Structure 1
Amino acid sequence: MTFGLPAFLLTLAIASEIVATSALKASEGMTRLGPSALVVAGYAAAFLLLAHTLKTMPVGVVYAIWSGVGIVGVALVGAMLFGEAVTAPKLAGMGLIVAGVALLKVNAA
């Protein structure tokens, strides 16, 4: 399998969503201008990139990858930037998400 343009756009969509969600936490209820602007821009970019990805990739697989990797990414950012606890059950859950996404991708046709 090659890593073509649709996969690259999906990667950018995931990164945009992770940045936007992390900025949502930092926006303190959308009361801080800088992080709030980053939320809007990040989600706009994420959905635009996701829409272009869906032109050539199946929606079920794209959404599973986007949401699954986004969940894990935001959880890791939360731990690194906001000091949120990382427990064994949380790590196990993230592992199951990654395994599920991998199974969907492997079996996508």
Structure 2
Amino acid sequence: MNAYLTLAVAIVAEVIATSALKASEGFSKLGPTAIVAVGYGVAFYFLSLTLKSMPVGVAYAVWSGAGIVLISAVGWFAFGQKLDLWAVIGMGLIVTGVLVVNVLSTSGGH
């Protein structure tokens, strides 16, 4: 399986798990707590597959950068959390950094 595909699955699973973590209210709600456990299990399994063919630093940069942006979007849409201009600028810089690593760097193993 393609490393970027397994990484995308890992990122989506992590975002779902983190969103459920907020909804679990300190693990006091069974449904969201189960989603957290399964989601993180799926996320780490697919991240481990990614690391077979992609350097850990590059994979983690993409994982964390995309995760920050996506979970911030979920927080905004699903939980009504606000993002100020500096937060948006910071996330833009994170996305720019991930793009630089993946498009310009030869470290990505592609």
TM-score (norm 2): 0.93
Is 1:8 matched up with 2:5?
A: yes
Which digits, 9 at most, give the CA deviation of each residue in 1:5-49, with x for residues without a partner?
111110000000000000000000010000000000000000000
Gaps of 5+ in 1: none
Identity %: 50
CA RMSD of superposed structures (Å): 1.0
Give the letter aligned to residue 108 of structure 1.
Answer: T
Is 1:24 matched up with 2:21?
A: yes
Secondary structure of 2:59's counterpart equals: helix
Gaps of 5+ in 2: none
Across the two proteins, how many residue pairs are aligned to each other? 106
Measure the CA separation in 1 of the matches of 2:49 and 2:73: 27
Is 1:103 matched up with 2:75?
A: no
Give the letter aligned to residue 101 of structure 1.
Answer: V
Partner of 2:33: 36
Measure the CA separation in 2 of the matches of 1:16 and 1:35: 13
Moved over 3 A (4+): none
TM-score (norm 1): 0.93
